[in-house]
Amino acid sequence: MLVLASSSPRRSELLHNAQVPFEVQAADVPEVPKKGERPLEFAMRLARAKADAVAQLRPGAFVLGADTIVVVDNKILGKPADAADAARMLRLLSDRAHDVTTAICLVMPQLRERITTQETTRVHFSLLTDEDIAGYVASGEPMDKAGAYAIQGIAGRWIEKIEGDYFNVVGLPVAKVYRILRQSGALK
């Protein structure tokens, strides 16, 4: 049995669409970077912490933890605190490229071995006007998204190019996760 240690509806949808059988059990892990922690270290630590927390509760299961971060100028853009924060993030992303990284941790049953990896995709935004930003923030879409945007939603109209895995930007690099699940024996 595979357990997804995430309450993300996007991750659930991606696994469901790939016809991967799984259950959801969200992990209660604070998503706060430690002082001096680099973005990739932060994402990897959270993915491990989520997977480990649920693995404690589900010792006979394969447990998949993941954390997606948006990074610009070596700074993590998390989920916006409010509308002003979302607008600030969108201004930072406007007319430039940034990286979206998803860290993945699969905890295997019994031996508690882990497979950890990550996927990074470069995303290029077009120039956003103040009206674009205000309208998008008013839509509510940015409010629970890392970096204050959803590539699969309204914000898709401003994505000029991506270099890498589209599904990674949505929240889970499906092909990489599927490969890991097959190799580990989580999928038959």
Residues carrying an active site annotation = 67
Cα 126 to Cα 54: distance, rounded to the nearest angstrom: 39
> CB-based burial of residue 60 (10 Å sphere; 0-12 exposed, 13-18 middle, 19+ buried)?
exposed
| Packing angle, helices 83-93 and 130-139, rounded to 10 | 140
Residue 12: CB partners within 8 Å, gap ≥ 6?
Answer: 4, 6, 22, 24
End-to-end CA distance of the chain: 11
The strand pair at 97-107 and 75-77 is best described as unpaired
Q: Which helix (H) or strand (E) holds 56?
A: helix 39-57
